[in-house]
Amino acid sequence: MKNSNYTITITVPQSPEKVFDAITNVRGWWSGEIDGETDKPGAEFTYRYQDFHRSKQKVVEFVPSKKIVWEVVESHQSFVKQKDEWKGTKIQFEISEKKGSTQLKFTHVGLVPAFECYSDCAGAWGSLITDNLRQLIATGKGQPNAFKEKPDILPTR
């Protein structure tokens, strides 16, 4: 299990198109500051949350209503020894239809239990995907300040 990538799957009653559109609206579900374009192939954007986390992602796969993959090209996390643990990892969203619903499989490829940030990052991703992104998919309304509302999912180091 030491090399298992972090993954979580949710199922929603909305269409694959709606799920895809919500994912590309990163500002609507990923708490923090987003700078740059997030909704087209080759786009690059930076993410920052206070002094805890800063990263730069590049959209390396973009298949409408099916799949999005971001490569983390820069990373800095203040709460771990190896500040750039995320660098070179990939954040992947796979969308598929399942019996009248849509399944979203989220995988942070390279985020493995051996990483110092694994527990904190897995907790944050879990909340972002199952709460924030699910709400954006269902209602079209974002919850971009979830960390303020749920500070317990932030690292305490």
Q: What is the pLDDT of residues 24-51, one digit of tens each?
A: 999 999 988 999 999 999 999 999 988 8
**pLDDT tens figures, 55-110:** 999 999 999 999 999 999 999 999 899 899 999 999 999 999 998 999 999 999 99
Greater confidence, 157 or 121?
A: 121
- Tokens, residue 100: 């009248």
Domains, the chain, ranges and CATH?
Answer: 6-149 (3.30.530.20)
pLDDT of residue 62: 98
Max Cα–Cα distance, the chain, nearest Å = 45
- CB count in 10 Å sphere of residue 28: 21
Per the prediction, the chain carries an average pLDDT of 90
End-to-end CA distance of the chain: 25
